[in-house]
A and B are shown apart, each in its own frame.
Chain A
Amino acid sequence: MLSNVIPSLVDGFRMENLDGEFVLLHPARDAVFYMNRTGALVWQLCDGSRTVDEILNLLSAAYPDSAEQIRADVPALVHSLIDQGILKSG
């Protein structure tokens, strides 16, 4: 379960905002990822200072109409980001 995991950023990635589209780059790894705005938002929140549960609560409060979807989307994204080596789980 990811609830208590504290995801944090892997060194070397940097986010570029290209006219509203977000590109996550890791030049040393020749890695590039495209993220939409909500994906970029979640990535930014995974800074090692809060658990996945806290991120869920924060986003659910910000988007109360989508709270249920957020509870499904965010853990899946965090899981994927960890799998891709973009985030590390603390």
Chain B
Amino acid sequence: MTDQTSNKITRRDAIKILAAATGAVVLANIPDKWTKPILEGGVLPAHAQTSPPPPPPPFSIVDCGVPDTMCASANSLVTITPATSGISMRYVLTPSNPAGTIVFPTQLNGTLLTDASGVADLYIEIQFMTFNINDTFTVDWSFDDPDDGIDTCQQVITYDGAC
């Protein structure tokens, strides 16, 4: 292949200058043929941009009680901080003995609102004759709305038959 000369610079010299000017990124990629340059793009869409982490949820769970015992009834209390009324707390009540009768709550999965002290109170009542000693009732607490908080808490209440 022979170089074509222009008035001022040969093709070979031009290629050398391009190679020297473009450095490592393009050096091995000097195109063999000229094609129309393409430029596409712009500012990244919002969902692709780096953004600061979201602020933490405003509430957290302080506690929901230590392991406890009961016979006919018990209360499972969950406390949030800062103490605020009207925050919806979700409970899931799971008896170890599904054959037993739970009088209250009527739904094993539901929500309760916190009071001004930041406490939600789940009253549990059972037909104790339908349960066996050491059957357990597990209460899992969480925020109904993750925007309120993401903490969870679990309390286990054991039927002790001491009625």
Point out residues on A near B: beta carbons under 8 Å: 15-17, 20, 22, 24, 27, 29-42, 44-45, 47, 49, 57-66, 69-70, 73-74, 77, 80-81, 84
**Main SS class of interface, A:** helix
Does B30 lie within 8 Å of A61, measured CB to CB? no
Q: Which residues of B contact A (CB under 8 A)?
A: 4, 6, 8-11, 13-15, 17-18, 21-23, 25-26, 29-31, 33-44, 48-50
How many pairs of A and B residues are in contact by the CB < 8 Å rule? 117
Asked if A35 and B43 sit within 8 Å, CB to CB, the answer is no
> In the assembled complex, how far is the CB of residue B133 from the closest CB belonging to chain A, in whole angstroms?
64
Select B14's contact among A37, A61, A77, beta carbons within 8 Å. Answer: A61
Q: In the bound complex, what is the Cα–Cα distance between A71 and B13 (angstroms)?
A: 19
- If the complex has contacts A40-B25, A57-B8, are A66 and B33 also in contact, measured as CB distance less than 8 A? yes
Instruction: Report whether B41 and A62 are in contact in the complex, using a CB–CB cutoff of 8 Å.
Output: no
